[in-house]
Chain A
């Protein structure tokens, strides 16, 4: 690291450097400047202040290291109770495209217990290789054991890119892993591409509640690591003709201390709705915050065979469970058709549904922002329009 050196011959005790230092890291002693290492932040303000060339210093300059030997687009495969999470297949689909562009391989990294048999599914969905860490301590997710296992794998194999789903699990583990390995990490990406010139990963994510999109790069660390919003990337269809190596990596799990102890895992009584894979979604906003509103919505959803969904306020008001919330803080969905009923279209909500193939918006307010992203705009009262639609569906 850098240091400040003071040439006491040249220093005439003018105090300019001491006064220029924002951190009180240069004091005057015996009419000479004296460097206080503990307080110095190497900001360099003193160097510019000295008129007598009495100060020298080398400031560390961040350099972009050469990462040309880093290869492989890795996907961390999330599993629960031995079942691969659907996000893993989405990530494989995305990784396939990136790897083909880079001319590198897609590697599925699996942490779990006794999953070797199932690994071929990952190959069928786009992985070239699959590396497992097989240990009973990895059967159920815990922060420290998983972080340890994955970071050891990354250290052994030195991949170029690492994708992790931005699920609760992924968002618990990925930042911990990144901090441990010194990796830049971009959260909740919705788009990943390769920069044609630099050949680095362009990681695009919403910011400010979806008001703007930011494209972020990690030039200083490898693997380039991102968490990816579930429900955004498209999985590849299974191709059972694909083959690839499935290997078990040796990781010393005894070297890891797990601080936490899981006492109990409670699943909800009503099996969670799977909005992310729903083809038809009927979503309601503030006007459905009444028993009548919910029933009007439900009748229409039943008539079209769709899932009910809603905005945040409907959850907050207690009319539908959080599992049905679409948006920045809820689910991302991409159905074939999304009926937005009484939804104004706040950016936070749009962030979760603007990947829908068709959007039908019903709103009293002709200026509601939802109409900007609607394929079909109906300015009207959902309490008139929805029952009419329900009737029309039943009559068919």
Chain B
């Protein structure tokens, strides 16, 4: 089975801090990681390759530093990595990103399965998977937490808000996965040394390589634009309650009663 895995390098948002003075994100010193759910997508691809044979190709769009992410995927076991890197790709919304990723998948040629994380932790949009599927006019399965691939089809369990559904789709199909799907393996030492060698199978593709015009990708090709960013601010007057637990309990219940909050009904 020819498998393509879409991965994104993201800042580790749990490390992201806000400058209390300016309200800006402090991105300095924040580690870049493979988007967590994308690692689960890669793990799924590697497991399917182990079962059915075939190849796993990783595609990542990002700045030159994203080479690290592609190499990490190779170290985990991917056969080939494609880094879509071009200044023209910068600032893309999901429309422009799915154009670039879709064109890159097309350039790869034949594929049976595309895997991706449900969403990236820096944007949380969950739009790239479905938009690439639509670009390629293939089936999509999102929110997948169990996956069984066979020749010609996949059977998946999709998480719904309440419960789940078991669903079947013919290949080619795009699947976005949840962390519950599997436990990603750690790279091997041998894999790391091979992936970081200058001969490792990573290609860097630019806009011309995937056959797009600069107007169709990146910021220029985006349909949505950010007009303002700001730090969310909770403006509440905090009242501190002090004393013994019993005193605090009595004070709190009385205060809530005065606010007409009815407890215990």
Asked whether A180 and B134 contact (CB < 8 A) given A305-B265, A373-B236, A378-B248, the answer is: yes
B253: CB under 8 A from chain A? yes
Q: Which of A180, A188, A374, A380 contacts B124 (CB 8 A)?
A: A188
Please tell me if the beta carbons of A214 and B226 are within 8 angstroms of each other in the complex.
yes
Instruction: Pick the interface stretch among A7-15, A104-112, A261-269, A287-295.
Output: A261-269
Task: Return the chain B residue nearest A387 by Cβ.
Answer: B245
Q: Mark A299-312, 1 if CB is under 8 A from B, else 0.
A: 00001111000000
Complex Cα gap A60–B220 (Å): 10
Instruction: Pick the interface stretch among B41-49, B187-195, B227-235.
Output: B227-235
Please tell me if the beta carbons of A212 and B229 are within 8 angstroms of each other in the complex.
yes
Q: Which of B166, B220, B231 contacts A62 (CB 8 A)?
A: B220
Q: Mark B144-188, 1 if CB is under 8 A from A, else 0.
A: 000000000001001111111111111001000000000000000
A323: CB under 8 A from chain B? yes
Task: Return the chain A residue nearest B259 by Cβ.
Answer: A358
Complex interface: chain B residues within 8 A of A41 (CB): 88, 206-208, 212-214
Complex interface: chain B residues within 8 A of A384 (CB): 245
Please tell me if the beta carbons of A220 and B208 are within 8 angstroms of each other in the complex.
no
Please tell me if the beta carbons of B241 and A378 are within 8 angstroms of each other in the complex.
yes
Task: Return the chain A residue nearest B207 by Cβ.
Answer: A41
Complex interface: chain A residues within 8 A of B121 (CB): 209
Q: Which of A179, A263, A337 contacts B168 (CB 8 A)?
A: A263
Complex Cα gap A184–B239 (Å): 44
Asked whether A374 and B208 contact (CB < 8 A) given A211-B18, A212-B231, A337-B261, the answer is: no
Q: Mark A382-396, 1 if CB is under 8 A from B, else 0.
A: 001101110111001
Among A24, A38, A220, A328, residue most surrounded by chain B Cβ atoms (within 10 Å): A220
Among B14, B124, B126, residue most surrounded by chain A Cβ atoms (within 10 Å): B124
Chain B positions near chain A (C-beta within 8 angstroms): 11, 13-14, 16, 18, 25, 88, 93-95, 98, 121-131, 133-135, 138-143, 155, 158-170, 173, 206-208, 211-215, 220, 222-232, 234, 236-242, 245-246, 248-250, 252-253, 255-256, 259, 261, 263-265
Chain A positions near chain B (C-beta within 8 angstroms): 1-2, 22-25, 38-43, 59-60, 62, 143-144, 147, 167-169, 171-176, 178-180, 182-188, 202-203, 206-221, 259-268, 271-272, 280, 303-306, 323, 328, 336-337, 346, 348, 350-351, 354, 358-360, 371-380, 384-385, 387-389, 391-393, 396
User: Could you list 8 A-B pairs, sorted by A, with CB under 8 Å?
Assistant: A43-B207, A213-B232, A214-B226, A259-B170, A260-B167, A263-B167, A337-B263, A377-B239
